[in-house]
Amino acid sequence: MEQIELDDGTADRFLLDAPGTSLLVFTSATCANCKMARARLPDMSLPVRRLCWIDAGRNQGLVERYEVFHLPSMFVVRNGVFYGAVQATLAEWDIRRQVSLALDGYPAELP
């Protein structure tokens, strides 16, 4: 699975142009659960083409636009279209289920 670091300056253009499904993951260097997410998510068999990592401490614009209130926070984007938040534990089965549910919902423009 591809992994990419995004920031306030690169996220919008990348997500609008990226084919397939991306899982945006907002993390922080000081968050224990975020460190666990960084270690575990790349090894999971998720229905996404790429993980997009966003440092919440350095990208306040994205944090505000995506209305991030807790870390780690995950969102689904497919073919430039926003499908919403993934409210899941860091268990593979839960993330897979929540990504599928998000993709079954109504798409919207990127925040």
User: Is the Cβ–Cβ distance between 40 and 74 less than 8 Å?
Assistant: no
Task: Indicate whether 47 belongs to any domain.
Answer: yes
Q: How many domains does the chain have?
A: 1
| Extended beta strands in 1-111, E state | 2-6, 21-27, 50-55, 73-78, 81-86
Task: Indicate whether 36 belongs to any domain.
Answer: yes
pLDDT at 31: 95
Q: How many CB atoms lie within 10 A of CB 62?
A: 21
Share of the chain above pLDDT 70, in %: 100
Task: Indicate whether 93 belongs to any domain.
Answer: yes
pLDDT digits (tens, 9 = 90+) for 17-60: 999 999 999 999 999 999 999 999 999 999 999 999 999 999 99
- Residue 84: give its domain's CATH number: 3.40.30.10
Question: Which pTM value belongs to this model?
Answer: 0.96
> What region, left, alpha or beta, does residue 67 occupy, with left being phi > 0 and alpha being psi -120 to 50 degrees?
left
pLDDT at 42: 98
Task: Indicate whether 96 belongs to any domain.
Answer: yes
* Domain carrying residue 83: 2-104
Task: Indicate whether 32 belongs to any domain.
Answer: yes
pLDDT at 22: 98
